[in-house]
Amino acid sequence: MTITPSWLTPGHGSWLPRDDAHRWLTFNLRAHHMQAQTVARRVEEAGKTWAELDELIAEHSLAERMIDVMFEAVLGYRVRRSGYIKRTAVTDQTATRDLAALANAGILSPHGNGRGRYYTAGPPLIEIQQRRRARRQLLHDPYPWIRVKLAEPVARP
């Protein structure tokens, strides 16, 4: 006889075919629904962020190729010259010049020197980040009752 791990069963330590799988299915449907909402929110936020970055590019008369590193910085990632070169296929000199232009405009904040140099979001990008977070709506729970239901003991026949 094999014993099924409790995390594979709908609410208790062993699976019995006569048991109702409704809770397990509802739990999974809720998880998928919440994940779909999260993905949809991320896509919407990315679109709005991208539009704000486009405005920033136009305002400072920067090259369109710079928007990718600006987006990375808004998301909280460190930007390095080597990564910028790989993404945009520009020369070393162009990459250095582009990143310096972003730093001089205050869009990126430089850290370190030489090969260890990296850039993070500057004040304009931090503002975009804060606006994005301030606009964020809470996810809608399609099954608000499920948490209470899952905590209830399972009636055994």
Taking 80 as the threshold, does the pLDDT of residue 150 lie above it?
A: no
Tens digits of residue pLDDT in 103-138: 999 999 999 988 889 999 999 999 999 998 898 889
DSSP 15-38: --TTS--HHHHHHHHHHHHHHHHH
CB 125 within 8 A of CB 107: yes
User: Which structural domains are found in the chain, ordered by start?
Assistant: 24-148 (1.10.10.10)
Average pLDDT estimate for 43-61: 94
User: What is the reported pLDDT for 16?
Assistant: 59
**Average pLDDT over all residues of the chain:** 86
Give residue 83's pLDDT.
Answer: 92
Average the pLDDT over each of 19-23, 72-76, 103-107 and give the range with the smallest value.
Answer: 19-23
The answer on pLDDT for 139 being more than 70 is yes
What pTM, to 2 d.p., does this model score? 0.73
Strand, helix or coil for residue 63: coil
